Amino acid sequence: MSPEIPDKLYFKIGEVARLADVPPHVLRYWESEFSAIKPKRANSGQRLYKRADVELVLQLKILLHEQKFTIAGAKSLLKSGKKVSITTEKTTGVTPAVSRELQTRVKIPLSAALQVRHITSSADVMLRQVKNELQALQKDVDSGNA
């Protein structure tokens, strides 16, 4: 789940770091790697991020930290113009590798790949439960308790 972004014009680096739950040095590094993140500088030298910068930082956090994209992979995904879903693995049960695999093989948007994997994941859980119940029944039959 994405954090609620306050309704204001500019954000200091510490505020953005708290919203994204990353240290400020990570934000400075991402600035050097992703040209789309361009905070203004106050007269004091303080970085001032716009709302669009904050939204991009949150997307990068999802791609790099939760979906385990590489810097190069995140750059290419953002260059392609695809919108990154802010839904995370923690809420959908999606593994990053499967999500990327679904997206590249089927050529569907990332958000749709997440939904497909979530449905598949739910079916996998139900099948495992049925398998466990059948194995328990088989043990009972084999031991003569049924």
What confidence tens digit (pLDDT) does each residue in 63-101 have?
898 888 999 988 888 888 776 665 444 444 555 555 555
The predicted pLDDT at position 25 comes to 95
Average pLDDT, the chain: 78
The predicted pLDDT at position 137 comes to 87
- Asked whether the predicted pLDDT for residue 138 surpasses 80, the reply is yes
Q: Which is higher by pLDDT, 40 or 5?
A: 40
Q: Domain range spanning residue 143?
A: 87-146
Residues 72 and 93 grouped into a single domain: no
Question: Which residue, 125, 64, 117, is CA-closest to 94?
Answer: 117
- Rounded Cα distance between 99 and 38, Å, is 29
Cα distances (Å, whole numbers) of residue 110 to 30, 56, 92, 130: 22, 16, 13, 30
The predicted pLDDT at position 139 comes to 86
Residues 103 and 68 grouped into a single domain: no
CATH code for the domain of 67: 1.10.1660.10
The predicted pLDDT at position 91 comes to 42
Cα distances (Å, whole numbers) of residue 72 to 10, 41, 57, 76: 28, 27, 16, 6
- Rounded Cα distance between 87 and 70, Å, is 18
pLDDT band at 112 (very low <50, low <70, confident <90, very high): low
> Domain total for the chain?
2
